[in-house]
Structure 1
């Protein structure tokens, strides 16, 4: 079946979330008067992942998961936990400002999306999270003009790896799942989820050893789609 579209994960696939969050944390720790360390950075990302999953599962609101992250992280940084939500929100705003200032697309994102546009293949994004924030990332990092549709878990009501998180976007764009490629960095959430929904999935593994079913950069997407378009 001819290729109809390529859909992408956002964070750590098109958008460098890890790099941006690392910069955001460094700015936040500076505001607290603390020295950044690998241990604190590792703890920050573990706490982020744990509580963001609870948000996606409906246990927390988007803003409450931010507060909970600070409740768990601040003692590790040697700070006390504020009693009020308002104070927690003010503190998180310092992190958010540094994080947003560091927002950036991976260098291979624009070329890959430009290539798809040039050969007439639609591109979309399926991402877990708050729709406003995810759409803001896409706009701020210069990808908005190259992406046809953006589907967040907040918008569709289903978070990856739920098959409906993939099938609803396909239906909305008039795509056959078997004729749609999905590219993502998380094997369980992105690859297994997409394949269970009937899409063709490509695992993006930017660091470490690639496997026969993974790619090291989005440049490989350009090569693969060029071959398909020529057939």
Structure 2
């Protein structure tokens, strides 16, 4: 089966539904930067390993984050589980007060580390020029999502923001995509979900009746018959061809 084109995915679309982490925001680098400083606060005697600890926390080999996204564990339990896994992997104990020390070091560093991918602003301008509302759908919680948007001066920029707090679970449960569509006021078949996670942002969205485009920034490729782009500029170009660029400079 051939993959649909991005043009066909956007044809007749009435709203965009964007993922947040590693789609519009470089969450991987922010988490690793902040986690490096947090690991240093807990295990200062292992300075050469702090970044590796932070990378392992991000990689989440025991898949604590998917368990949180499905509603199986609370946010705090997920965080504690990931920290315990890192400690075990590096042969360390989790000292008393470690969770508080971790958060106190992590939170301000994470806010400072927020970076918007450079192809995001033009996509938002193109969507506005095409009169397409833009909603966010993330498996992160409301509080860290607000931190990201506020740090990037994007608070209030999006018509709808759906987090795991909205229904108590996240992608790929079909109900969360449908709730985002309901809140943005557009039928699922006219909403295009865009994100970097093939399972959550594309296959899950399509199973719920939405259209989808996979953001494959690393060029991994897939055998799945899905529309894909290497960057958001490709989507912007399609919108500009369909609706024309907005007046004035970007």
Q: TM-score range, shorter-chain basis?
A: 0.7 to 0.9
Aligned match of 1:134: 145
Distance in 1, Cα, partners of 2:191 & 2:206: 11
Matched, 1:123 2:134: yes
Q: Is the 8 A contact 2:149 2:155 kept in 1?
A: yes
Counterpart of 1:53 in structure 2 is 66
1:82 aligns with 2:81: no
Question: Number of paired residues?
Answer: 228
Select the residue among 155, 161, 185 that pairs with 1:174.
185
Secondary structure of 2:21's partner?
coil
CA contact (8 A) 1:70 1:92 kept: no
Task: Give structure 1 stretches of 5+ with no counterpart.
Answer: none
Q: TM-score, normalised by structure 2?
A: 0.81
Give me the CA root mean square deviation: 2.3
Structure 2 equivalent of residue 207 of structure 1: 218
- The match for 1:4 is 14
Distance in 1, Cα, partners of 2:127 & 2:15: 9
Q: Structure 2 stretches of 5 or more lacking a match?
A: 1-10, 245-250
CA separation of 1:59 and 1:89: change in aligned 2, threshold 3 A: farther
Give 1:37 deviation, angstroms.
Answer: 6.8
In structure 2, do the counterparts of structure 1 residues 41 and 82 end up closer, same or farther at CA, with 3 Å as the change threshold? Answer: closer
User: Could you tell me how far apart the structure 2 residues matched to 1:225 and 1:76 are?
Assistant: 46
- The residue number in structure 1 matching 2:3 is none
In the alignment, what sits opposite 2:202? 191
Higher mean alpha-carbon deviation, 142-151 vs 181-190, is at 142-151
Q: Distance in 1 between matches of 2:236 and 2:53?
A: 37
Does residue 14 (structure 1) correspond to residue 24 (structure 2)? The answer is yes
CA contact (8 A) 1:128 1:153 kept: yes
Change in CA separation of 1:145 and 1:61 when aligned onto 2, cut-off 3 Å: closer
